[in-house]
Amino acid sequence: MSAQPAQVAAAQPVNHDRLVGEVPAGSTPHVLEGSWVKAIAQVGNKIIIGGKFTKVGQSGTQYARTNLFAIDANTRKVDPNFAPQVSGEVLTVAASPDGHVLVGGWFGSINGQGPASLQKLNINTGKQVTTFKASPNNAVYDIKVVGSRAFVGGRFTKINGQTRNALASVNATNGTVQAYTNVPFTGVHNHGSTHIYKLAASPDGSKLVAIGNFNAVAGQTRRQVAMLDLGASAAALRTEWNTSQYSAACSSSAFDFYVRDVDFSPNGSFFAIVTTGGPYGTRNLCDSTARWETGATGTDLSPSWVAWTGGDTLHSVAVSSTAVYIGGHQRWANNPEGRDSSRQGAVTRVGLGALDPENGMPYSWNPGRDPKGIGAFELTLTPTGLYVGSDTDFFGPQEHYRAKLGFFQLNAGKVPPPNTTAQLPGKVYVAKTDGSLVSRVFDGTTAGPDVPAAANGWDEVRGSTLIDGNLWYAKADGNFYRRAFNGVAFGAEELVDPYTIPTWDAVHPTWKGTKPTFYGTTAATLTSMFYAQGRLYYTRSGSSSLYYRYFTPESGVLGAQEFNASNGMSWSNTGGMFVSGGKLYFVVSDGSLRRVDFTGGLPTGTPTTVSGPGTDGKDWRGRALFLAKP
């Protein structure tokens, strides 16, 4: 049995109520004469930035800074007093409970003094905190602080002479190696040396996820990812959580391992992992973002969703309450069929993206990084926004010069819509074959008289659903549309095409997105449509199946993959659908309206007729059906 969780909180989660803005603030310094930024953390009222560089510039002034510097969290001005000299690359920084900063990486000394790879610095002066004594025998790649413990992951096999294979916990105040964590990581995925590359701690301090180059933990098979329980007296491998999804070799000649970053959601319910690995489509999780449920148990778990780039590396992930931000050198999102090419469903997202946590579909947020470089190595959320560390100097299609460091402000962003659909009692609108639109009040049992709502043109509609006051629908021309509807009047019709982005298409035409196969024959032959839980469900003529694709109304992006939700039922005679109160209502060919339970995203049970020509004289047949407020 695993030890009971200690429930000591990790770093404060970031609860953003919106996406961050798309234009990076102009107040950040430029990282000059160097390679990249790979580490960012807020420590009190300062932002600590690490990587590989020798100089930073701001407002015409240049500052000598060797691989580490600090800025004010509010003004983003360079701290003139924090200027430690780090002899090698800084890979990770973390706030210590005493208000100072822990620094890890691949270095021999700081300010000419050891130990190598792990030190604590005074946040005000940049000098060593000499009472902290932790000395690993090899590189430190990541540090996560949980309560009074600092979990350290890296390439080491010993700390302070005590054997700890790739993972250890030390007292965050004085560096004493703790017996609490003695969970050996061993083996390699493809080749190279055993190490932990990244760590993530759940906000409540009960779980730790480690990713890196290993194939066993505490003697049990774990390929590149493992979850630990942080108990009251010891950390232990969580035996109830395992997956084989990262067992594929991918491009083994190029990558000794391919997991690259991991982060928990602010509420701790899930974590996301991003990867590199090569263009293998949906056969494995290379070049992807995957959502994993923290509370899931099993010996071969699968992710809740996977978002593939189409063959481009992702280096970083940061999860807010609103979005899963991803960074790398990717060209696209929503591109599962891509092989270094734009395939159906792909949308241009150059080097940065924001995914809907519910389904992995990209939001419209699209600042981009051009050139892409090796990638965006670090994404760090703070209460006021998102920091991006990379090896390139421009955001947008070479629009905004922000050398290797950018900051996207929260107060400049927008709140995604809540994806609200109407519930019964309400008005059900029916698009008639004569082109008219009528409404009838319906409470789930009794239907009122028909009331004309629009005169003509509705015979071209093929399925519809109302979300947040916008009516989404397909038409006989094979396209997907939306228009506002306030319950009285309709707005102008808009073609939904998030796959065409003129600003990026003009600069990089070969990176242009591609409409999914939903457009064309599928859209033109739809017989019904409804939205629920991040999915657009539909039926189509000539098929007995109920299908769905992931769908995020904020961006209008439809998933490239089509899934079957029939659940053993035939849907060949369906002509309109809506969902309300855990029930799916659908029209059949004789004009009757039927109802069936809808749970877990699937219809379940036996349908019953609630209205129809033979029941109450109501005929529900039409080209489309949607539910609105009464």
Q: Please confirm whether the linkage preceding 115 is cis (ω < 30° from 0).
A: yes
CB atoms within 10 A of CB 600: 9
Residue 83, classified by CB atoms within 10 Å of its CB into exposed (0-12), middle (13-18) or buried (19+), is middle
Where residue 34 falls among pLDDT bands split at 50, 70, 90?
confident
Find, among 71, 131, 75, the residue nearest to 98 by Cα.
Answer: 131
pLDDT in tens, 306-339: 999 999 999 999 999 999 999 999 999 999 999 9
pLDDT of residue 317: 99
Predicted local distance difference test score (pLDDT) of residue 105: 99
* pLDDT reported for residue 12: 73
Checking if the pLDDT of 603 tops 60, the result is yes
pLDDT (tens digit per residue) in 138-187: 999 999 999 999 999 999 999 999 999 999 999 999 999 999 999 999 99
pLDDT of amino acid 6: 38
Closest residue by Cα to residue 50 from 41, 39, 58, 42? 39
Per residue, what are the HEC states of 580-612?
ECCEEEEECCCCCEEEEEEECCEEEEEEEEEEC
Domains and CATH numbers, the chain: 30-412 (2.130.10.10), 426-628 (2.110.10)
H or E segment and range at residue 505:
helix 502-507
In this prediction the pTM is 0.97
Give residue-wise pLDDT tens across range 412-469.
999 999 999 999 999 999 999 999 999 999 999 999 999 999 878 999 999 999 999 9
- The burial class, CB within 10 Å (0-12 / 13-18 / 19+), for 367 is buried
8 pLDDT higher than 60: no
Handedness of CA 250, 255, 256, 258 (dihedral sign): negative
Interacting residues of 276 by C-beta distance below 8 A, sequence separation 6+: 255, 258, 260, 286, 287, 313, 314, 315, 328
**CA 513/CA 499 separation, integer angstroms:** 5
- What would the two tokens of residue 134 be? 């932790």
Question: Could you count the other beta carbons within 10 Å of the beta carbon of residue 48?
Answer: 27
**What is the rounded CA–CA span in Å between residue 359 and residue 361?**
6
- Mean pLDDT within 593-609: 98
Peptide bond into 502 cis (omega under 30): no
Cα torsion angle, 391, 395, 396, 397, sign: negative
Confidence of residue 4 (pLDDT cuts 50, 70, 90): very low
Q: Which of 347, 391, 328 is nearest to 511 (CA)?
A: 347
The dihedral over CA atoms of 198, 35, 387, 260, expressed in degrees to the nearest 10, equals -20
Distances (CA, A) of 76 to 387, 462, 545: 11, 52, 55
Q: Cβ distance 489 to 469 under 8 Å?
A: no
pLDDT value of position 2:
35
187-217 pLDDT per residue, tens: 999 999 999 999 999 999 999 999 999 999 9
Q: Read off the pLDDT of each residue in 576-601 and give the average, rounded to a whole number.
A: 98
Opening angle at CA 386, ends 381 and 391, nearest 5: 110
Q: What sign does the CA torsion over 280, 282, 283, 288 have?
A: positive
pLDDT digits (tens, 9 = 90+) for 239-286: 999 999 999 999 999 999 999 999 999 999 999 999 999 999 999 999
pLDDT for the residue 3: 36
Residues 77, 69 contacting (CB under 8 angstroms) = no
Predicted confidence band at 9 (pLDDT cuts at 50, 70, 90)? low
Q: Rounded CA gap, 619 and 615, in Å?
A: 10
* Rg of the chain, C-alpha, whole Å: 27
Q: Which amino acid belongs to residue 315?
A: H
Q: Around Cβ 74, how many Cβ atoms within 10 Å?
A: 11
Q: Which residue has the tokens 């602080």?
A: 145
Chain centroid to Cα 268, Å, comes to 14
| pLDDT above 60: residue 1 | no
Beta-bridged to residue 113, according to DSSP, are: 110
For residue 455, how far is the Cα from the chain centroid? 43
* Integer CA distances (angstroms), 353 to 305, 307, 314, 356, 360, in order: 16, 11, 10, 10, 11
The residue behind tokens 């009516």 is 471
Q: How far apart are CA 213 and CA 172, in angstroms?
A: 25
Distance from C-alpha of 559 to C-alpha of 362, rounded to nearest angstrom: 9
The whole-number average pLDDT for the span 96-110 is 98
- Give the β-pairing of 207-213 and 195-201: antiparallel
Tell me how long the chain is: 630
pLDDT of the residue at 455:
76
The answer to whether 80 touches 56, Cβ cutoff 8 Å, is: no
Q: Exposed e or buried b for every residue in 263-274, given b needs 16+ CB within 10 A?
A: bbbbebebbbbb
Diameter of the chain by CA atoms?
A: 89
**Helix, strand, or coil (residue 258):** coil
If residue 179 lies in a helix (H) or strand (E), which one and from where to where? Answer: none
Over 90: is that where the pLDDT of 11 sits? no
pLDDT tens readout for residues 113-136: 999 999 999 999 999 999 999 999
- pLDDT the model gives residue 456: 85
pLDDT for 398 beyond 60 = yes
Burial code (b: 16+ CB inside 10 Å, e: under 16) for 302-339 equals ebbbbbbbbbbbbbbbbbbebbbbbbbbbbbbbbbbbe
The predicted structure's pLDDT at residue 454: 84
Question: Across residues 346-362, what is the average pLDDT?
Answer: 99
CA distance 343 to 354: 20
Token pair, residue 518, equals 């939903």
Would you place residue 80 in the very low, low, confident or very high pLDDT band (cuts 50, 70, 90)? Answer: very high
Opening angle at CA 180, ends 174 and 185, nearest 5: 105
